[in-house]
């Protein structure tokens, strides 16, 4: 079966939290995820239909939108699904939504050590535009954030 795209809703919080906690050493809290809904946010998710009416969350993204700009704040793929192109599908969906909404300046930050994500963002037209020293808490200490933009 093909994964289905749809916006996230507050009803998806439990599934989001499971994926978030499995995918990240320092996951977003339930409260932070819950605060990411509303008019200023762009969300998207990929679901795999299963038997009956049930669906399984494969991945999602959360971005904010202000005027003609958007910042991708979180993109997450379930660990068992990583490496199969779902991150690219989510990114391409996000970029199509931005284009439809007239958003022309796109931003994100990524851990310096996240080589796969950085390569994905570069292949989607982002460029490195700066660095935030010691921005993230890493397993062995602080880690820099690489700032990227697409204009």
Residues 55-65 have a mean pLDDT of 96
128 and 77 housed in the same domain? no
Phi, then psi, of 149 in degrees rounded to 5: -145, 160
Whether pLDDT at 51 is above 80: no
Same domain membership, residue 98 and residue 41: yes
CA dihedral 135, 105, 12, 29 (to 10 degrees): 10
Judge whether residue 53 has pLDDT over 80. Answer: no
pLDDT value at residue 50: 82
Sign of the dihedral through C-alpha 22, 24, 25, 31:
negative
Selecting among 20, 60, 94, 121, the annotated active-site residue is: 121
Tell me: pLDDT of 52 over 80: no
Residues 42 and 99 in one domain: yes
136 is catalytic: no
Closest residue by Cα to residue 22 from 63, 55, 71, 59: 59
Task: Check: CB of residue 150 under 8 Å from CB of residue 127.
Answer: yes
Q: pLDDT tens, 12-25? A: 999 999 999 999 98
Q: Is 41 annotated in the active site? A: no
For residues 44 and 111, membership in a common domain is answered with: no
Rounded to whole angstroms, the Cα distance separating 39 from 91 reads 20
Q: For 21-39, how does the pLDDT look when each residue is reduced to its tens digit (9 = 90+)?
A: 999 988 999 999 999 999 9
Beta pairing partners, 128 = 148
Predicted local confidence at residue 139, as pLDDT: 80
Question: Taking the mean position of all CA atoms in its chain, how far away is CA 115?
Answer: 15
Domain boundary among 103, 121, 140: 103
Q: Could you report the per-residue pLDDT of 93-143, keeping only the tens digit for each?
A: 999 999 999 999 999 999 999 999 999 999 999 999 999 999 998 888 899
Rounded Cα–Cα distance for residues 148 and 127 (Å): 5
The boundaries of the domain holding residue 93 are 1-103
Set 109, 112, 135, 136: catalytic member: 109
Number of folded domains that form the chain: 2
Side-chain half-sphere exposure of 17, counting CA atoms within 13 A: 12
Residue 19: give its domain's CATH number: 3.40.630.30
What's the pTM?
0.92
Q: What is the pLDDT of residue 54?
A: 84
């Amino acid at each position: 079966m093909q994964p289905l795209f749809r916006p996230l809703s507050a009803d998806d919080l439990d599934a989001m939290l499971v994926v978030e906690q499995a995918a990240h050493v320092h996951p977003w809290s339930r409260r932070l995820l819950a605060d990411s809904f509303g008019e200023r946010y762009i969300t998207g998710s990929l679901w795999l239909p299963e038997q009956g009416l049930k669906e399984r969350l494969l991945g999602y993204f959360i971005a904010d939108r202000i005027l003609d700009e958007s910042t991708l704040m979180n993109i997450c793929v379930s660990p068992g699904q990583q490496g199969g192109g779902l991150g690219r599908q989510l990114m391409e969906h996000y970029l199509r939504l931005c284009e439809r909404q007239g958003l022309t300046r796109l931003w994100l930050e990524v851990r310096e050590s996240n080589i796969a994500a950085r390569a994905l963002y570069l292949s989607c037209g982002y460029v490195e535009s700066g660095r935030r020293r010691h921005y993230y808490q890493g397993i062995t200490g602080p880690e820099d954030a690489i700032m990227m933009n697409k204009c």
